[in-house]
Chain A
Amino acid sequence: MTTYLSLMLLIPLFGGVLNALVGRNLPRRLAESLACAAVWGSFVCAVLAALAYHGPEKVVVAQWFQAFDLALPLSLYLDPLSLSLCLMICFVCGLIHLYSVFYMAAEADYARFFALLNLFVFAMLSLVLAENLVLLYLGWEGVGFCSYLLIGFWYTEKENADAGRKAFITTRIGDTALMVALAWLFQLFGTLSITQLNGMGFLLPAGIVTALGLLMLAGAIGKSAQLPLMVWLPDAMAGPTPVSAMIHAATMVTAGVYLLARMYPLIGSSTVTTSAIAIVGGLTAFYGASCALAQRDLKRVLAFSTISQIGYMMLGVGAGAITAATFHLLVHAFFKALLFLGAGCVITAMHHEQDIFRMGGLRRTLPITFWCFLAGAACLAGLPLTGGFFSKDSILTALWMKGTALTQALYFLGLLTALITAFYSFRMVYLVFFGSNAHQQGHHEQSDVLPMELVLIPLALLGLFGGVLDLPGYLGGGFLGSFLGPLSGAHPVEASHTEELALQGVAATLALAGVFAAHVRYGGAARDNRLQESLLKPAPLVAFLLNGWYFDALYRALLIRPYQALSRVLWQQVDEGVINGGIDRLADGVGSTGSWLGRWTTGQVAVYLLSFAAGGALLLGYLAWRSL
């Protein structure tokens, strides 16, 4: 087991380092195959580990720090949660690596790209496998760092570099909170081993558990782009599309959910924390879905839907339904990666046009992409019997069954969000693939996009049939539920089959209603009317949603402007005025004193002699006065 786990981590690390060091000098095909082989090698290790898996296992790879009472072994922990995530990460990342080979075929700087992708996989796997919170934190920062570099991959354009910085700085706010939580835990327990900490939660007073939970929630909020730190994710779409699919949809942004799920036995005992998690998740789900309604940029629609879907996962964690949250995390990774990769095919075919109002008719030119994208959109919308339907519904069911006023209110918010989600998913499908478009440019040859389209197929199958991972009780119960069962701290109330069917019926009706509304508004002839409308100035509400509730403007006014003003004062008044001016004036004073004293040296011997004599007289006088 040690071999499998350490190889799973080391292969991508090796691939990344090799590509970073000598990738430029390797033939292009070799560098690309190296990167892909590294991730698939990791996947093989993950599969072998899964086959050899018997029960939760802790593996110490090496001793790292051992000074005074700080012991930080490089230890890995394989349990159902990390195992299922590892399999998903290796598989999705492997497919995205293959996709990138074709997507980035015209990119000159392929070595840097693949090195960063591989390093990202390494960091993500160490984040997931870590048994030690410091190791987890290292992975946490590692993925953030790779994400920063990959968002700004085309750094010669200022907006891309700015988007990278924005992502890094915004997530840093959450990271700081997580760091504080880590230091506090160490101070309390003298250990940072996750398994030990999770078993010691009951020793702490409730207030401290709440505070720790809220700090970790803040970390998760930053990483998973939840309210109020979600502003970075839409801008992160400046990176290449495979990066958006891999980092900003499937893996990294779900790290926050993973952290909360992992630490749930410790923090879950505090009602305040779980309520806060649920509220943040519910509000974010609604926020993301509402913003996605008005976006014009294909990738930004998907970014806001990612924010919204992660909100659902947070809702699941807040309701204590770790299994449901993990289930949704896995299925979401498949269908959201699928949607992003499909978007990448569309964007390539449209020659880097990203405005959905200028697309159309692609269902004929890109049939494979169309069907796969449709499958992804169906999962996102939660159409019955897709994977997304089961996973989203298990979260909503858990919320309803928890039975407090708060969770039931959030349940209705979740239902409303599901309706909006179905609407915007199919708005996107109708605008991109249906109708005919006057703006059509000459498309790429089919063969250019074809290899990329092939990657979509396995993801589409997984998204559509992901539901079998965790079927509801009336269909014989889920594999994931019994697999993940032992680790979830709280045992959610089981719904009876009738209740579950009723709740799923409600969700299914809403999803279908959303699709129907989208059909009425964007299908057929109505589509052309919408295209006409899109040329006009947007209505205030649409502009409000298009700009993400003006959160960027709010932060600009509340934080950035005052900070810039303060910086300007510090720069012009304090630094240039006080410090520079002070030093200048001191130097001027010394200089003028010097030249004033310099007038003494007249060059006349007599003056020197007189001064000498006066000095001698003074000395003598002093000595005489002393000896009195």
Chain B
Amino acid sequence: MSIPLFHVLILAGILFAMGLACTIAWRANVIMMLIGIEIMLNAVMLTLVGGSAQWGSADGQIFSLMLMALTSSEVSLALAMVVYLHRRKQSVDTDDFTSMKG
């Protein structure tokens, strides 16, 4: 049996919205914002895989694999930066870091 693309897209949409909401709302903790970003990326990958299944083409799956590699490297980099930020201000609240203020 196969899941219709429409359902996959609905799920991906919900996931993406939740991830976005998490990223925007949970600004007191940068790690939670990173998790929100991961969820949004997963929603994207889900869409790609769903499309790949629908049209019987491997492109979407290959792209998802690449996205996984990308995500893992991104997370490792981001976590390193989080550690660094925490060392500087003893905080993970993004509102404490306003040196980019124009």
Contacts and interface: CB of A to CB of B under 8 A. Distances in A.
B20 A603 contact: no
B84 interface: no
A603 B27 CA distance: 13
Contacts of A599: 102
A598 B98 CA distance: 14
Given A606-B27, A606-B94, A606-B95, A601 B20 contact: no
Contact of A603 (B23, B24, B33, B99): B99
Contacts of B23: 609
Contacts of B102: 598-603
A624 interface: no
A601 B95 contact: no
A600 B101 CA distance: 9
Contact of B95 (A598, A604, A610): A604
* Interface footprint category on A: 10 to 19
Interface string B74-99: 00000000000000000000110111
Contacts of B99: 603
A441 to B, nearest CB: 81
A583 interface: no
Q: Which of B33, B99, B102 counts the most A-chain CB atoms under 10 A from its CB?
A: B102
A613 interface: yes
Contacts of A604: 27, 94-95, 98
B98 A602 contact: yes
Nearest to A599: B102
Nearest to B23: A609
A605 interface: yes
A256 B63 CA distance: 94
A609 B21 CA distance: 11
A604 B30 CA distance: 12
A607 to B, nearest CB: 9
A616 to B, nearest CB: 9
Interface in B24-63: 24, 27, 33
B100 interface: yes
Interface in A586-609: 598-606, 609
Interface string A529-540: 000000000000
A606 B24 CA distance: 6
Contacts of A605: 27, 33, 94, 97
Nearest to A597: B102
Interface in A68-107: none
Contacts of A613: 20, 24
Contacts of A610: 24
Nearest to A598: B102
B100 A601 contact: yes
Contacts of A606: 24, 27, 94-95
Contacts of B98: 602-604
Nearest to A608: B100
Interface string A174-209: 000000000000000000000000000000000000
A601 B20 CA distance: 21
Nearest to B26: A606
B94 A601 contact: no
Interface in A482-508: none
Nearest to B28: A606
A500 B66 CA distance: 122
A609 B100 contact: no
Contacts of B100: 601, 603
B89 to A, nearest CB: 14
A613 B97 CA distance: 20
A378 B98 CA distance: 100
A61 to B, nearest CB: 74
Contacts of B27: 604-606
A599 B98 CA distance: 13
Interface string B1-38: 00000000000000000001001100100000100000
Interface in A32-81: none
A626 to B, nearest CB: 19
A605 B24 CA distance: 9
B47 to A, nearest CB: 14
Contact of A609 (B24, B95, B97, B101): B24
B101 A602 contact: yes
A602 to B, nearest CB: 6
Nearest to A617: B20
B101 A601 contact: yes
B91 to A, nearest CB: 13
Nearest to A602: B101
B74 to A, nearest CB: 16
A615 to B, nearest CB: 13
23 contacts: A598-B102, A599-B102, A601-B100, A601-B101, A603-B97, A603-B98, A603-B99, A603-B100, A603-B101, A603-B102, A604-B27, A604-B94, A604-B98, A605-B33, A605-B94, A605-B97, A606-B24, A606-B27, A606-B94, A606-B95, A609-B33, A610-B24, A613-B20
Interface of B: 20, 23-24, 27, 33, 94-95, 97-102
Q: Would you list the 3 A-B pairs with minimal beta carbon distance, nearest first?
A: A601-B102, A603-B101, A603-B98
Interface of A: 598-606, 609-610, 613
Given A598-B102, A604-B94, A605-B33, 17 more contacts: A599-B102, A601-B100, A601-B102, A602-B98, A603-B97, A603-B98, A603-B99, A603-B100, A604-B27, A604-B95, A605-B27, A605-B94, A605-B97, A606-B94, A609-B23, A609-B24, A609-B33
